[in-house]
Amino acid sequence: MTFSSSQKRKAAALISGGLDSMLAARVIMEQGIEVHGINFFTGFCVEGHTSAIRERHKIKHKRNNALWCAEQLGIPLHIIDISTEYKDIVLNPKHGYGQHMNPCLDCKIFMVGQASTCEYANEQGFDFIITGEVIGQRPKSQRREAMPMIARESGAEDKLLRPLCALNLEPTLPEREGWVDRSRLFGFHGRDRKPQIELAKHFGFKDYAQPAGGCCFLTDKHYSAKFRDLMRTRGKRDYELDDIMLLKVGRHMRPNTRFKLIIGREQGENKYLQGYQKRFLNLRTMSHEGPLALIDGVPNDSDIELAARIVARYSQGRTAAEVEIKATWPDARERAMRIVPLTPLEISDDWHV
Amino acid sequence: MPVIRAQELARSLAAGTLVELSATDPGVVHDVPAWCRVHGHDVISCKDQDDEYVIEFKIGAD
């Protein structure tokens, strides 16, 4: 079967916001295929979001890279909230974790499967799915053996086309049917980024994101440590969306197993934490400029005093003889305290999560 | 995520409808205008008020 212009084919492109998915979409658009972007919100994939929160990151791009890619490509982008279903992927990955808490292979299988069967896909009637995967680009999810596994376990089978490395794989349905000209696809492989950068240049893309962890916080060592701490101290492998959002913000300190402090590091984070202050016992510095801090857990009275002394340490009153701190509970109870800020030596390195 | 809520809301609204979205998440001041541009909606205003960000936009024809 050859491609007929009267029968325009439609593809769903998984858009992460990185260069590879952007290029894959563009390669297929070049062949006259109507491409729609799909981006998944897992709760873990918001690097641009965090830099937007932090005012000091003024130099960083404060943008959602997936939306930005769609804008550059001139395609619609449908964002799907999979944060609830994604919990099972993160907590029980069939294929295990990568270097940190990243279940990359299970994640890819899940996302490709969702792109095939979600409500939006059914509405749009996509003929095939494209991803920016490149064989050997990532040690776990993009190794050669993983490619057929993703196609099979996601249910996409031969409707899954990887335009950037297609020449290293068996022809897929859109290639065999002539919807896509295989000779205009690529055979990229390995971790070398030069071919992608050359292709970006060819398409005139001057600005693009190249996040090292593929846009996911679970590939981050520090984030993963905080995530493990959360589950360990709660005594169960479970989380809520707010838990994982808060892991991205502030300085996290756990002086003991009863509570953790989340201390805003600057005005942007303080403002973000304000959105949570009615749900957490929180501490504010009253006598000096200082951060907003949330207390997660069940602290006793001496824990609250210790928390206040820690917060004072991170306020403008750190060298003052006394600092006034106000504790406010979710039920609006308040307690004012005058405390002595901890000295740097009194803050144990072990408290930093 | 505010932009997903905006997306879901927009699907059921007629072109020309005015939408006011408020959020404490500072990401909205970048994400919602970008989403509006991608989908042909018009941003009317984007304000940083005391405890929240307020964005007003008009649903586009597409």
Q: Give every CB contact of residue A238 below 8 A, 6+ residues apart in sequence.
A: A87, A91, A231
The verdict on A188 and A62 lying in the same domain is yes
* A172: closest CA of chain B, how far (Å): 30
Q: Are residues A81 and A158 in the same domain?
A: yes
Q: Where are the domains of chain B?
A: 2-58
pLDDT in tens, A92-109: 999 999 999 999 999 999
Architecture of domain B2-58: 2-Layer Sandwich (3.30)
Mean pLDDT across B3-10 = 91
Quote the CA–CA distance of A253 and A314 in Å, as a whole number.
Answer: 12
Q: If you count them, how many residues does chain A have?
A: 353
Segment A196-236, tens digit of pLDDT: 999 999 999 988 876 555 578 998 899 999 999 999 998 88
Q: B25–A49: do the CB atoms touch at under 8 Å?
A: yes
Domain assignment present for A227: no
pLDDT one-digit tens code per residue, A45-62: 765 555 556 665 555 556
Judged against a pLDDT cut of 60, whether residue A76 lies above it is answered with yes
Tell me whether residues A52 and B29 touch, CB distance under 8 A.
yes
Residue in chain B lying closest to A267 (CA):
B26
Q: Do A131 and A277 belong to one domain?
A: no
Residue numbers of the domain that contains A195: 10-217
| Residue of chain A whose Cα is closest to the Cα of B26 | A53
Instruction: Count other Cβ atoms within 10 Å, centred on residue B48.
Output: 10
- Chain A closest-CA separation from residue B20 CA (Å): 18
Contact A73, A25 (CB under 8 A): yes
* Mean pLDDT confidence for A124-142: 92
Residue A111 lies in a domain: yes
A119 contacts A125 by C-beta, under 8 angstroms: no
Instruction: Count up the domains in chain A and report the number.
Output: 2
Across the interface, whether the CB atoms of B27 and A67 are under 8 A apart is answered: no
Query: How many CA atoms lie less than 13 Å away from A120 in the CB half-sphere?
Result: 23
Does a structural domain hold residue A233? Answer: no
Burial A5-38 (b: 16+ CB within 10 A, else e): eeeebebbbbbbbbbbbbbbbbbbbebebebbbb
- Band of residue A1 on the pLDDT scale cut at 50, 70, 90: very low
Q: Mark whether A266 and A211 lie in a shared domain.
A: no
Residue A21 has pLDDT above 60, yes or no: yes
CATH of the domain at A61: 3.40.50.620
Least confident residue range of A270-279, A342-351, B20-29 = B20-29
DSSP A239: -
Which residues does chain A have within 8 Å of residue B4's beta carbon, measured at their own beta carbons?
41, 79-81
- Least confident interval from A163-172, A219-228, B8-17, B21-30: B21-30
**A10 in B contact zone (CB under 8 Å):** no
CB neighbours (10 Å) of residue A241? 16
* A124-127, Cβ contacts within 8 angstroms, sequence gap of 24 or more: A124/A10, A124/A12, A124/A36, A125/A10, A126/A10, A126/A11, A126/A12, A126/A36, A127/A9, A127/A10, A127/A11, A127/A159, A127/A174, A127/A179
Pair A198, A281 in one domain: no
Higher-pLDDT residue of A139 and A100 is: A100
Please compute the mean of the pLDDT values over residues A67-91 and round it to a whole number: 95
Find the CB nearest B51 among A48, A268, A274. Answer: A274
Is B53 an 8 Å CB contact of chain A? no
Using the CB atoms, write b or e for A291-329: b if 16+ within 10 Å: bbbbbbbebeeebbbbbbbbbbbbbebeeeeebbbebbe
Q: Determine phi and psi for A22, rounding to 5 degrees.
A: -65, -45
d(CA A167, CA A133): 12
Determine the residue among A41, A80, A271 to mutate to test chain B binding: the one whose Cβ has the most chain B Cβ atoms within 10 Å.
A271
Yes or no, beta carbons of B30 and A62 under 8 Å apart: yes
CA A248 to chain centre: 10
Structure tokens at B11: 């699907």
**pLDDT band per the 50, 70, 90 thresholds, residue A36:** very high
For this complex, say whether ipTM is above 0.85. Answer: yes
Distance from CA of B57 to the nearest CA of A (A): 17
Average pLDDT, chain A: 91
**Residue A244, domain member (yes or no):** no
Of B1, B25, B51, nearest to A41 by CB-CB distance is: B1
pLDDT score for A298: 95
Q: How confident is the model at residue A260 (pLDDT cuts 50, 70, 90)?
A: very high
pLDDT exceeds cutoff 50 at B19:
yes
Q: Between chains, do A53 and B39 touch, taking CB under 8 Å as contact?
A: no
Half-sphere exposure of A329 (CA within 13 A, CB side): 10
CB A230: neighbour CB atoms within 10 A? Answer: 21
Confidence of residue B44 (pLDDT cuts 50, 70, 90): very high
- Percentage, residues of chain A above pLDDT 70: 92
Among chain B residues, the shortest Cα distance to A41 is held by B1
Which residue from A275, A231, A280, A226 is spatially nearest to A253, judged by alpha carbons? Answer: A226
